[in-house]
Chain A
Amino acid sequence: MFVCLCNGVTSQVVADAVEAGATTTKKVASACGAGAECGRCRRTVRAIIEAAGTIVDAKGN
């Protein structure tokens, strides 16, 4: 699935970033660019982080 249309980032790339230690949407954006532009894909990014069993901070960032 293409998660971030601005930067053309797929769910697989986001999942790889999460597996490599990106446990917040900000860290994912830094790692692969997903959510770094308009930010409207962050809900999906967050769902991928949560699916990976990682902890999202209280702000959900």
Chain B
Amino acid sequence: MDGTAEGQTHTLVLAMDYRVPDPSRVWPVLQRSKPSLVDLGAHYVLVYASTRDPGRVMVTISLHSKEPVLEVLRSRAFLNWFDAVGLDDIPAIFAGETVDKVTLVEAPEGTAPGVIVGAFAAITDVPSLIAGVHNGLDRFAAAGVRAVRIFQAFDDQHELLILQELDDEADAVAWVDHPDVAAEWMGRTGVGAYPPVFVGRLQHIMRLDENA
């Protein structure tokens, strides 16, 4: 399922988008969970808070693991985190790897992080989509897009998570309302297991030393 041989270390990104009664509880729970995150092989944890939907957060975890994805996800840690923030219904979890990363604008040091627009979507022709993004980078930059990162799911080669960083909220809203023709994923969200487009800002980042 993850394309790696048993026992081989592989890098994966987990992403989950969910609503909680009190989003401020998410970060302390993750901080208290450092030992279990280290056990999972996590090296980065990022928490984004929606700027449009109160209570909605997106958490991404990058990790190195020798365990198959399924074993990682079956860790009791995930249910413990959801329990600790008062979540009864658990969200679907994306598990995949980076397949494309483009930085259009290197923000000068000290510049505030941009606004993140995240989309989970099923795409028929992924190589064609990536080519379309690269062909449209000038238009993306003109729309205020600083960076695009595309992740492909291990369990479904048509399933993508696309994270776009934009300069500010106004650009993000304009992008959501009128995305570029190459950003076909924007119209394929909010269906089935896929949540609607996420618009938010990075709230917290945790870097973990795997040898800690």
A contact set with B: CB distance below 8 Å: 1-3, 5-6, 8, 10-12, 14-15, 38, 40-44, 47-48, 50-52
Contact across chains for B90 and A12 when beta carbons are under 8 A apart: no
B32 within 8 A of A: no
Residues of A within 8 A of B179 (CB): none
Contacts of A41 in B (CB 8 A): 89-90, 92
Contact residues in B for A11 (Cβ distance below 8 Å): 92, 156, 159, 192-194
Say how far A17's CB is from chain B's closest CB, in angstroms.
Answer: 13
Q: How far is the CA of A53 from the CA of B33 in the complex (A)?
A: 40
Q: Which residues of A contact B79 (CB under 8 A)?
A: 5, 38, 40
Q: Is B155 an interface residue (CB 8 A)?
A: yes
Q: Convert B120-161 into 0s and 1s, putting 1 for each residue whose CB lies closer than 8 angstroms to a CB of A.
A: 100000000000000000000000000000000101100100
A15 CA to B194 CA in the complex, in Å?
A: 12
Stretch at the interface among B3-11, B34-42, B70-78: B70-78
- CB of A1 within 8 A of CB of B92, answer yes
B93 touches A1 (CB 8 A): yes
CB distance from A9 to the nearest CB of B (A): 10
Tell whether, in the assembled complex, residue A44 and residue B91 are in contact, meaning their CB atoms are under 8 Å apart. yes
A residues in contact with B106, CB < 8 Å: none
User: 27 A-B contacts, Cβ less than 8 Å apart?
Assistant: A1-B94, A1-B120, A1-B159, A2-B92, A2-B93, A2-B155, A3-B92, A5-B78, A5-B79, A5-B90, A5-B93, A6-B74, A8-B74, A11-B92, A11-B156, A11-B159, A11-B194, A12-B155, A12-B156, A14-B193, A38-B79, A40-B79, A40-B88, A41-B90, A42-B89, A48-B192, A52-B192
